[in-house]
Structure 1
């Protein structure tokens, strides 16, 4: 096992219609990973036992796992931790089988068990693919964590409606239009800010650093700025730290070679 990449918030997240499922497009983050090595368990032993049972196996070969991302940060720590364990104890399990097992333990999960999770419109409380999409345009993200961690409550469906943003997103990624994709992400973040909070300094940072847009964890503390490749200002990381973000990082995401 070489590790499982996390994500860094979502390009968009919300209800697909007033009574529809909570859906999201995850923002793939290769810079944050769960890898073999010593680290704290993110689930109690009985949950790991139930997870393995859902995969038709047991905990005999469950590995030690190290996690780069903070739990509750909105970077997929819990799902990535389970997926990494699943690949060790049930290497023949399909992505769909791992998703069902994650859902049984977490109640909501990210699509990190799939090879291209950012090409999916994902129903996170149902553990299923709502639609398949083109990859997001390639871009650079500079981000960090703002405020207290917030773990996902699977019973929480208090998200804004995003049916219009899903339509805009499909058009943006089909055209490979990064500027439009960034506008969708910014709009989704703004709706989440208005409904769920908390306030953060990202709009001002985006303006000062001339970012294309803002991305956030719709549950969790991850916050980031979206840039076209090669356009990140030299002072971007320092500006985020000065504004109070922690664990500041920079990575490339979107279309992969």
Structure 2
């Protein structure tokens, strides 16, 4: 049995429907500070039958007995997808990510693109387990974030999201030009639409104004919330400001770039 570690994500830059009746799509935010490893001492969040079917679809004889995860479930970090990918790789899977994505989808009915080498360069249909479009990735950015509210488990049948087809086009154009400020505006609008429809209310817009952030980001299903800054521009008092506003598990990280 090998050892494998998979980087998780911290919510999404953009998420919603691709057209009023289109699939749920997203652009994930890679978070190097969150990860899942296998094998480990914590049981994966799946039944034995599901894991057996997952292994069989990939031609694997057995999966590791457990995982190690450095973040809680329900924050919007892709815990279940990261667990499956880590377990498959620890068991010796080295095939194409598309096949691994199909197996993940069969296991969890909705999947994040964490099996791909650059998941934030993809427009991903999460309920279909497929790449809709390859795009330029976001430029390097600094994120100050934390958790707000209760954990939220993803419901694969939940498609109650706003149409973000306009935001997807804006994102693709801004990413192609490496325009972090414009990408931040897109992310803030996606977060705003999600919060207006799904809640819960949070203090992120006020914090962004107080701290001079470029944008607000959130897990569109989950408790992760964040502020976007240019690299090196996170205020010294930023973490304390988030804690004072009621966020927990505050962290900073860099994402995007080559």
Same fold (TM over 0.5): yes
* Number of corresponding residues: 255
Q: CA deviation at 1:24?
A: 0.3
Query: Normalized against structure 1, the TM-score is what?
Result: 0.96
Structure 2 counterpart of 1:10: 12
Q: CA RMSD in A?
A: 1.1
In structure 2, the residue corresponding to 1:12 is in which secondary structure?
strand
Please give the alpha-carbon distance, in whole angstroms, between the structure 1 residues aligned to 2:44 and 2:163: 35
Matched, 1:68 2:53: no
- Match 2:134 to one of 129, 132, 135: 132
Q: CA deviation at 1:72?
A: 1.0
Matched, 1:57 2:68: no
- Match 1:231 to one of 230, 233, 253: 233
Please give the alpha-carbon distance, in whole angstroms, between the structure 2 residues aligned to 1:203 and 1:167: 24
- Match 1:195 to one of 194, 197, 200: 197
Structure 1 counterpart of 2:216: 214
In structure 1, the residue corresponding to 2:131 is in which secondary structure?
strand
- 1:1-257 mapped onto 2 (5 Å cutoff): 1-36=3-38, 37-59=40-62, 61-256=63-258
Q: CA deviation at 1:213?
A: 0.4
Q: CA deviation at 1:112?
A: 0.1
Please give the alpha-carbon distance, in whole angstroms, between the structure 2 residues aligned to 1:247 and 1:206: 18
Please give the alpha-carbon distance, in whole angstroms, between the structure 2 residues aligned to 1:167 and 1:109: 22
For the 8 Å contact 2:33–2:253, the answer to whether it is kept is yes
Query: Normalized against structure 2, the TM-score is what?
Result: 0.96
For the 8 Å contact 1:5–1:80, the answer to whether it is kept is yes
For the 8 Å contact 1:240–1:248, the answer to whether it is kept is yes
Q: CA deviation at 1:56?
A: 1.7
Please give the alpha-carbon distance, in whole angstroms, between the structure 1 residues aligned to 2:163 and 2:8: 25
Gap regions ≥5 residues in structure 2: none
